Amino acid sequence: MTTTPKTITEGEHPILDYIRRDRLPHIFCSACGIGTVLNAFANALRSLNYDIDRLVVISGIGCTGRASGYFAADGYHTTHGRAIAFASGVKVANPDLNPVVISGDGDLFAIGGNHFIHAARRNVDMLVLCINNFNYGMTGGQMGPTTPDSAITVTSPDGNIEHPFNLVSVAAASGAVFVARWTALHARRLTKSIEKALQKKGFKFIEVISPCPTLYDRYNRHGSGLDVMKKYRELSVIRNFTDPMKAEIDYRTRIVCGEFVDTEKPEFTDLLAKQAETLQQR
Amino acid sequence: MLTRQERSPIVPEEETTTKYEIVVNEDWCKGCGFCYTFCPREVLEKSTTFNSKGYYPPEATNIDRCVGCGLCEAICPDFAIHVEEKKTKTTTKRGRK
Ligand SMILES: Cc1ncc(C[n+]2csc(CCOP(=O)(O)OP(=O)(O)O)c2C)c(N)n1
Ligand code: SF4
Ligand code: SF4
Ligand code: SF4
Ligand SMILES: [Mg+2]
């Protein structure tokens, strides 16, 4: 069931129209970046005056996976890794709906990796917001597909020996029509990119680098969540339309942010409808 | 001699001054410090008293410096701070320009 937005009374936070206020305060740790991303997403909805009745917020499992429960829109808190599969189903069953997937690096790129690359390849209309905190937060801080080289996690106590995915490059190579990366510090640029992506048809991907002060950043002695945000300020450089392959994330040197891909190509459910129409005329 | 235009009557002019107010929901604040660290105008400070959960919320100790940029509102992970615009209209009598 959809909750129709209430009107904000004076003195209330302006995004609360889009949020299930009965669920607040949310579960995320102090200084976790997930809340900032939810704030940015709600802000984008507000500035577009987005039709919440056509929005479906879908997430998988993890700390980020809790996102779908906080929006005053229809939503699915799906099984682990399957958010994109659900979103594809929503879009195919009712192309008038707009699925937005908000999920974690582990959910979307470890167990859910195949769903990601194939939905991008097919160009199914959806926005995927990935909160990359370089580990599996909810389950206690295990290493995952984005954990950097040598990083310490509970399952890589002597340093990670695996090579991480560069998510923006995976997204671009798989065929996403819009690809961007920001950090939680870039709250307003992130909001603008979300606005842009919501107005575009096809498979859109935005990665948000986010502090996990309770686990990942603690094991790696990065200090508090605030220290991590200060580090983002020091390290991030904005390079729009740079080759995603070259958009590195290196906590020792630099984090390349920006909008890297913004292109057009025929969308899956449009092509499906067109084909169905041709077949009916035969 | 003054031209006709220069002799136009003195009319009261309306001036709008914009002031900002910072609204903090202390109960939701988790004291991360993002707002008072990243405010570009040093409007906010860590409060000296803590909330029911033991976190120190921000306090707008320098509100006159606020330019309403909205960064504190956008960066807060807990939807605990926002900025409100207060427009006041004042009528002033102005002489010829
Ligand atoms: C099928 C299945 N396997 C494993 C798990 C355990 N599990 C829960 S959340 C999670 C990883 C979440 O990591 P991420 O998506 O990065 O989210 P975060 O908590 O970091 O936001 C795992 C492995 C599960 N719930 N279901
Ligand atoms: S464990 Fe990490 S990702 Fe999960 S809520 Fe806490 S800080 Fe955020
Ligand atoms: S609106 Fe901008 S200037 Fe005013 S307190 Fe917030 S961050 Fe500072
Ligand atoms: S950003 Fe929000 S949660 Fe953090 S200290 Fe400021 S008001 Fe509190
Ligand atoms: Mg994660």
| B71/A40 touch (CB, cutoff 8 Å), yes or no | no
Q: Which of A108-122, A156-170, A233-247, B8-22 has the lowest mean pLDDT?
A: B8-22
Q: Which chain B residues contact residue A43 at CB under 8 A?
A: 74
Q: Taking CB atoms and a 6 Å cutoff, what residues make up the pocket around ligand 4?
A: B 24, 29-35, 57-58, 76, 78, 80-81
User: Given a cut of 80, is residue A279 above it in pLDDT?
Assistant: yes
Which ligand lies nearest to the CA atom of residue A225 in the structure? 2
Q: Taking CB atoms and a 6 Å cutoff, what residues make up the pocket around ligand 1?
A: A 61-64, 80, 103-107, 131, 133, 135-139, 144
Q: Which chain B residues contact residue A34 at CB under 8 A?
A: 77
Given the CA of residue B56, which atom of ligand 4 is nearest to it? 5
pLDDT of A282 = 86
The verdict on B82 touching A (C-beta cutoff 8 Å) is yes
| B79/A35 touch (CB, cutoff 8 Å), yes or no | yes
Mean pLDDT of A128-145: 98
pLDDT of A3 = 43
| A30/B30 touch (CB, cutoff 8 Å), yes or no | yes
Q: At what angle do helices A113-122 and A167-174 cross, to 10 degrees?
A: 40
pLDDT of A2 = 43
Mean pLDDT of A237-251: 97
pLDDT of B97 = 47
| B77/A36 touch (CB, cutoff 8 Å), yes or no | yes
Q: What is the best residue among A30, A64, A215 to mutate for testing ligand 2's pocket, by most ligand atoms within 8 Å of CB?
A: A215
CATH architecture classification, B26-87: 2-Layer Sandwich (3.30)
pLDDT of A1 = 40
User: Is B95 exposed, middle or buried, given 0-12, 13-18 or 19+ CB atoms closer than 10 A?
Assistant: exposed
Residue B79 has its nearest CB partner, among A15, A30, A224, at A15
Cβ atoms A116, A108 nearer than 8 A: yes
Spatial separation of the C-alpha atoms in residues A242 and A240, rounded to whole Å = 6
Q: Where are the beta strands (DSSP E) in chain A?
A: 55-59, 74-77, 98-104, 126-132, 178-183, 203-209, 236-238, 255-262
Cα distance from B82 to chain A (closest Cα, Å)?
A: 6
Residue A157 or B87, more confident: A157
Cα distance from B73 to chain A (closest Cα, Å)?
A: 9
pLDDT of B42 = 97
Q: Which amino acid is at A204?
A: K
pLDDT tier, A42 (very low <50, low <70, confident <90, very high otherwise): very high
Distance of CA A117 to the CA centre of its chain: 15
Q: What is the pLDDT of chain A when averaged over all its residues? A: 96
Residue percentage of chain A with pLDDT more than 90: 95
User: Given a cut of 90, is residue A240 above it in pLDDT?
Assistant: yes
Spatial separation of the C-alpha atoms in residues A141 and A134, rounded to whole Å = 9
pLDDT of B2 = 63
User: Given a cut of 90, is residue A257 above it in pLDDT?
Assistant: yes
pLDDT tier, A127 (very low <50, low <70, confident <90, very high otherwise): very high
User: Given a cut of 50, is residue A147 above it in pLDDT?
Assistant: yes
The token pair that represents A66 in the structure block:
């809790």
Tell whether domain A21-281 is in CATH 3.40.50.970: yes
If phi > 0 it is left, if psi is from -120 to 50 it is alpha, else beta; for residue A68 that is alpha
- Counted residue by residue, chain A has a size of 282
User: Given a cut of 70, is residue A104 above it in pLDDT?
Assistant: yes
User: Given a cut of 60, is residue A261 above it in pLDDT?
Assistant: yes
The verdict on B66 touching A (C-beta cutoff 8 Å) is no
**pTM, rounded to two decimals:** 0.93
pLDDT of A9 = 60
Positions in chain B whose pLDDT score sits under 70: 1-9, 92-97
Cβ atoms A119, A126 nearer than 8 A: yes
pLDDT of B5 = 62
| A225/B32 touch (CB, cutoff 8 Å), yes or no | yes
Spatial separation of the C-alpha atoms in residues B20 and B65, rounded to whole Å = 9
The token pair that represents A119 in the structure block:
């939905």
